[in-house]
Amino acid sequence: MSGNAEFDQAAKEFETIVKTHNDKISNEEKLDAYGLYKQAMIGDNATAKPTSIFSQEAKAKRNILKI
């Protein structure tokens, strides 16, 4: 199995785990996993910092990408 295929399979398995055990996984753990996934998929974060006080989720996602 190639590296990409292994990664895709692991991402699908993780998505299944999150969906079936969503109530047992903290938001911090979800954000950490999201950050690692995005880092692997697109590299360093180059998006503009969200300025709205109403976009807390967007800010958290952007901040977690500062790995």
9-64, pLDDT tens digit by residue?
A: 988 888 888 888 888 888 888 888 888 888 888 887 677 766 666 777 777 777 77
The total number of structural domains in the chain stands at: 1
Confidence band, pLDDT 50/70/90 cuts, at residue 1: low
Q: Which range marks the domain in which residue 39 is found?
A: 24-67
Does 15 fall in a domain?
no
Does 55 fall in a domain?
yes
Look at residue 27 in the predicted model and tell me its pLDDT: 85
Tell me the C-alpha distance between 13 and 10, whole Å: 5
CATH number at residue 54: 1.20.80.10
Name the token pair of 29: 């753990």
30, exposed or middle or buried, with CB in 10 Å at 0-12, 13-18, 19+? middle
Look at residue 33 in the predicted model and tell me its pLDDT: 83
pTM listed for this prediction: 0.54
Look at residue 66 in the predicted model and tell me its pLDDT: 63
